[in-house]
Amino acid sequence: MKQILKKALKKSNKSYTGERQAFFDFIVKNQHFTIQEAQEKLGISRASVFRTLALFERLFLVKKIDKNAYEFNNPAKHHEHLKCNKCGQLFEIDDHTLHSQIELLCKKYNFSHQEHQLIIYGICKKCQERD
């Protein structure tokens, strides 16, 4: 995973540092994460979490899913999300029917599809059972 980061930083004339590498390793390891989680696990300030995330977003290494949820931007692992409004957990969904519907919709509106992101907000199974 070192080469991916080094290449991306070099392309945009940013220097490669140990702190950036540690952050990137954290992103790759954690499927989804929040600002607080990154701050706690990496032991860096909130400001540097924001700074590094902004940089990684510009380099297309990280993707913002929701207000406070990020994930590694891996085009090979495209998926949609369900988000629980109670516990905040994100669940991944991958559905082929959904994607053929999206293609059909784009055709209908003469729209050239580039990317999409779908989040369904609700209450997860665990939280439903807790009530």
Question: Strand 32-33 and strand 69-72: pairing?
Answer: antiparallel
**Closer CB to Zn ion, 44 or 84, in the complex:** 84
**Closer CB to Zn ion, 20 or 32, in the complex:** 32
Site for Zn ion, residues 88 to 107, rule: CB under 5 A = 92
End-to-end CA distance of the chain: 43
**Closer CB to Zn ion, 1 or 87, in the complex:** 87
115's tokens: 């990317």
- Report which of 69, 72, 64 is spatially closest to residue 34, judged by C-alpha positions: 69
Site for Zn ion, residues 23 to 52, rule: CB under 5 A = none
Q: Where does this chain bind Zn ion (CB under 5 A)?
A: 71, 84, 86-87, 92, 124, 127
